[in-house]
Amino acid sequence: MSGALRMGLVLGCGLLHPAAARAAGWIDAMARVASPEFRALDDRRAELGREPAGLRLAAGSPNSLGYHSGVAGSADQSRWVEVDLGGPRPVDTVVVFPAASPPLYPHPGFFFPRRFRVELSALGDWSDPVTIADYTAADYPFPVDRPVVLPARGSLARMVRFTATRLVEQDGWHCLSLAELVVLSGKRNVAAGRPVRAFDSCETGDYWGARALVDGQSPFGLPLGTNRTGSFGYSCRPRRRATEAAWVQVDLGAVKPIDEVRLVPARPPDLPGRGGVGFPQHYRVEAAATADFSDPVVLRDATAARVPNPGDGLVVVPADGTVSGRYLRVTATELWRRDRDDFVFALAELQVVSGGENVARGAPVAASDSVEDGGWSAAALTDGFASEYELLDWPEWAERVAQGTERELRARAIEAAWDAARIAAYDRVIAGAVAACGAVALIAVGLAVRSRLARRREAERLRFRIARDLHDEVGSNLGSIILLGRSAWRDDPAQTREDLREVTRIAEETAASLRDLVWLLNRPGGADRDFPTRLREAVAGLTTGLAVTFHLPPAAALADLPLTAQRTLLLAFKEMVHNAVRHSGTATLAVALRRAGGVVALEVTDEGRGFDPGAATDGSGLAGIRARAAAAGGRADVESAPGRGAIVRLSIPDGGRT
């Protein structure tokens, strides 16, 4: 039987039994028969989906957000931040954690730079820099929604520096933000709690600050694997007063030098939105050679000042081998408030590192008292698990993160090839059906399937663009309002008034952006809401006092213009008018929109002061207009000279390539 006849029969069976065909995925089944390429890609896609993740990049709940630079004047003004490790150490891996800024930016990637490099200095004075990562020639090509793992291969370093050479721009703000910088030497993060210096830093109390770069808190939570257990950790019995002390200790079996102690906060599943459950507000960490602690050595005394809750962050108490002991005790002198008159002390895990290994794993545990029920127990303090999930050593966790990034890149490449091969296979199915059956009805069905897929892909792309617009334009504006609002708490009334005027301007722009996006998504019928009318409305507030002439086609000539093309034209048009009003000093504007030969062209002309297009900077707004044109498969051109006004022209295919 020929392949064409087989395709015709398969399609016919699918049409005769649509319910069974839908259940079996008959459309893709036919595509697999028609195209060996699609079949191979479909198998690879399914195989990749079955691969185990290997780690749990959980959404943490940090109480500090990380390091945030001051505002730079442009994207090309570099910013740097560095950590002093205290002395030369062999560095195996550097892990950079992108920041988040909830609630407006709940996902990692907030102000993560487009271009950067990471360097080490063994002497600490940067006379001997060693570059371990250099993404300064082109934009960083990998996802920024996960930690960035950078091998250092044992290079000696006292200083570790992250330098951003191309900043992200959001509504005119250019900044650098990082949640955490982890520097691995063996199985230890030797950057934990170390001094941090930076070009500049936005210090906003408990949220942003240079010290927050090494406090163990990030949007990714603890270094967890995927193996689960039913244990949550250790908890004392509830107290009626916060000052009723509680303690817990581990027996290491022999006196051992202590490199560091790690306190792992609890996050029981019955409180899924909260990290740091039971972490004391005041506490003390001690080592001793005897179980009664008659000879204690204090590693950390946090009994005088209240300690910020670490959320899901790993709390590291360094000792660097200067302290030895057989017993390690944590005493909570002010407990965590669980309810109005209910106070507890809890930890998910207690680790003691000696010689690069956690020597507390499986060690006996003693306590002032302990809850032994519902997942809580003294033994769970050293079982190798946080609340529910296994704790991984830093090197293993970093390796799994790197593997996950590589897997994500493979998945994206396979998905793109799979999508293209799928459409090509549908074309073969249609051709086979025509050859086998010669039925126009079958051709119509095949074309409808392909058209539906194309419309679905266009709708998905539009939803992505709209979501990005909401993030870039509305989210960044609200973020700016928050930063300005925080800076308004100052003693300079003149600066405060200027900040509030800026808040008003940004809020008005945000409202206008929302109106544009809502209009694109949900337009009522009627000539008064057509696209030419929307262009006039969109800039009415910007052009007050100017003589504006419009040369626009009738609404019917643009009725079939795709939403993606309308979105590009509308947003670019607002930028073009905004630039002319803001920079040219013109008293008149001329707007023209033409559609011919498969191209729609938008032109804005002013009679202002003009400029040299070759000397224009990104701050002029031209870069954004050109980027929108390129994304739509078109181009943007500028004609201008000093004293001769300017013409800005945008041309895109009227099929709306996105």
**Band of residue 567 on the pLDDT scale cut at 50, 70, 90:** confident
Quote the DSSP letter at residue 587: S
CATH number of the domain that 301 lies in? Answer: 2.60.120.260
Could you tell me if 228 and 349 lie in one domain?
Answer: yes
Could you tell me if 191 and 239 lie in one domain?
Answer: no
Q: Name which of 137-141, 505-509, 590-594 the model is least confident about.
A: 505-509
pLDDT of residue 505 exceeding 70: no
The pLDDT of residue 474 is 55
The pLDDT of residue 274 is 72
pLDDT of residue 312 exceeding 60: yes
Could you tell me if 16 and 117 lie in one domain?
Answer: no
Could you tell me if 582 and 637 lie in one domain?
Answer: yes
Q: Name which of 172-181, 436-445, 521-530, 634-643 the model is least confident about.
A: 521-530
Could you tell me if 18 and 124 lie in one domain?
Answer: no
Higher per-residue pLDDT: 528 or 633: 633
Domain count, the chain: 4
The pLDDT of residue 333 is 96
Could you tell me if 135 and 241 lie in one domain?
Answer: no
The pLDDT of residue 582 is 83
Mean pLDDT over residues 425-447, rounded?
Answer: 63
Could you tell me if 242 and 384 lie in one domain?
Answer: yes
pLDDT of residue 525 exceeding 60: no
Contact of 307 with 198, CB cutoff 8 Å: no
Could you tell me if 534 and 629 lie in one domain?
Answer: yes
Q: Name which of 17-31, 168-182, 412-426, 616-630 the model is least confident about.
A: 17-31
Each residue of 602-641: pLDDT tens digit? 999 999 988 888 776 544 567 778 888 888 888 999 999 9
Cα–Cα distance between 259 and 257 in angstroms, integer? 7
- For residue 440, what are the CA distances in angstroms to 15, 293, 426, 450, 574? 14, 90, 16, 15, 47
The pLDDT of residue 7 is 45
Contact of 386 with 348, CB cutoff 8 Å: yes
- Of 341, 373, 391, the residue at which a domain comes to its end is 391
In a domain, 491, yes or no: no
pLDDT of residue 515 exceeding 80: no
Range of the domain at 32: 3-51+422-460
pLDDT of residue 16 exceeding 90: no
In a domain, 412, yes or no: no
Contact of 170 with 472, CB cutoff 8 Å: yes
Q: Is 379 exposed, middle or buried (0-12, 13-18, 19+ CB in 10 A)?
A: middle
Each residue of 240-265: pLDDT tens digit? 999 999 999 999 999 999 999 999 99
Cα dihedral 234→237→242→248 (10° resolution): -40
Could you tell me if 128 and 181 lie in one domain?
Answer: yes
Higher per-residue pLDDT: 628 or 369: 369
Could you tell me if 201 and 258 lie in one domain?
Answer: no
- For residue 619, what are the CA distances in angstroms to 73, 605, 614? 9, 20, 13
Structure tokens at 242: 């916060």
User: 466 — phi, psi (to 5°)?
Assistant: -65, -45
Each residue of 114-149: pLDDT tens digit? 999 999 999 999 999 999 999 999 999 888 889 999
Closest C-alpha to 91, from 158, 155, 160, 150: 155
The pLDDT of residue 19 is 44
In a domain, 454, yes or no: yes
Cα–Cα distance between 256 and 354 in angstroms, integer? 7
In a domain, 470, yes or no: no
Tally Cβ neighbours within 10 Å of residue 648: 25
The pLDDT of residue 6 is 41
Task: Tell me what the pLDDT averaged over the chain comes to.
Answer: 83
In a domain, 465, yes or no: no
Structure tokens at 384: 């190798």
Structure tokens at 325: 């002991």
Using only C-alpha atoms, the chain has a radius of gyration, in whole angstroms, of 31
- For residue 626, what are the CA distances in angstroms to 64, 107, 576, 607? 38, 28, 11, 22
- Of 391, 411, 442, the residue at which a domain comes to its end is 391
- Of 156, 186, 214, the residue at which a domain comes to its end is 214
Could you tell me if 284 and 254 lie in one domain?
Answer: yes
CATH number of the domain that 614 lies in? Answer: 3.30.565.10
**Band of residue 489 on the pLDDT scale cut at 50, 70, 90:** very low
In a domain, 482, yes or no: no
pLDDT of residue 553 exceeding 70: yes
Could you tell me if 359 and 250 lie in one domain?
Answer: yes
In a domain, 380, yes or no: yes
In a domain, 521, yes or no: no
User: 495 — phi, psi (to 5°)?
Assistant: -65, -35
pTM of structure: 0.63
